[in-house]
């Protein structure tokens, strides 16, 4: 076999699945970068926007909420992009994705039923951040716990009570909330 025949065979092989896989990965990387940049710009605008004019604005709290929302959006975007890219790459290898998608659907239902509290905690955390119900350093009363908020996450909020106990409260379980630190609006 001559060099030109080998080169032609290599080109014929490379122009198929390997080239498609490289293009899929390149497009996924570009979309990840552009999407992340777009989300960062949007969240920076939200962080600096003058939603509540006047001295009681709370710009630092607004920045923290925008930062948290931005990280959640970026994680969701990245997960979606790479899940789609993975399925496209697997289809290039000739895998039949029908049974995998059906199995994922059944598994998704099972996980959804089993992870209801986790989903409820995450959704409650997102709404709590969006509504600015409380933040780090606020003096709050959450259910029976009175104290100062030490950290706020999407799933769990930690509060240091007056006696020094650190309470871990799942956001989905917080049904009653009092915030002594928020200014009157």
pLDDT tens column, 56-73: 556 777 777 777 778 778
Considering only residues 60 and 179, tell me which one the structure prediction assigns the higher pLDDT.
Answer: 179
Q: Pairing between strand 177-179 and 139-142? A: antiparallel
The boundaries of every CATH 1.10.287.1260 domain in the chain are 3-114
Q: Pairing between strand 156-161 and 145-152? A: antiparallel
Global pTM? Answer: 0.57
Extract the tokens encoding 85. Answer: 């890219």
Residue 38 has pLDDT above 60, yes or no: yes
The answer for residues whose C-beta is within 8 angstroms of residue 121's C-beta and 6 or more apart is: 154, 155, 156, 170, 171, 172, 173
* CATH T-level topology, domain 3-114: Helix Hairpins (1.10.287)
Class of domain 133-179: mainly beta
The boundaries of every CATH 2.30.30.60 domain in the chain are 133-179
Residue 113's pLDDT is 76
Coil vs helix vs strand at 165:
coil
Residue 57's pLDDT is 55
- What does 96-159 look like in DSSP terms, one character per residue? -HHHHHHHHHHHHHHHHHHTHHHHHHHHHHHHHHHHT---TT-EEEETTEEEEEEEE-SSEEEE
């Amino acid at each position: 076999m001559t060099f030109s025949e080998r080169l032609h065979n290599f080109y014929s092989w490379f122009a198929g699945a390997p080239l498609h896989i490289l293009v899929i990965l390149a497009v996924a990387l570009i979309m990840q970068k552009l999407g992340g940049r777009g989300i960062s710009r949007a969240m920076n605008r939200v962080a600096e926007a003058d939603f509540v004019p006047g001295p009681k604005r709370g710009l630092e709290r607004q920045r923290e909420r925008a930062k948290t929302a931005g990280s959640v959006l970026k994680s969701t975007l990245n997960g979606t992009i790479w899940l789609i890219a993975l399925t496209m790459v697997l289809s290039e290898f000739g895998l039949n994705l029908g049974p995998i998608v059906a199995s994922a659907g059944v598994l998704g239902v099972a996980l959804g039923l089993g992870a209801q509290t986790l989903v409820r905690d995450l959704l409650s955390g997102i709404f709590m951040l969006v509504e600015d119900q409380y933040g780090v350093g606020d003096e709050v009363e959450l259910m029976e716990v009175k104290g100062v908020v030490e950290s706020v996450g999407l799933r769990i909020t930690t509060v240091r009570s007056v006696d020094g106990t650190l309470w871990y409260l799942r956001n989905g379980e917080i049904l009653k909330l009092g915030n002594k630190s928020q200014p009157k609006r």
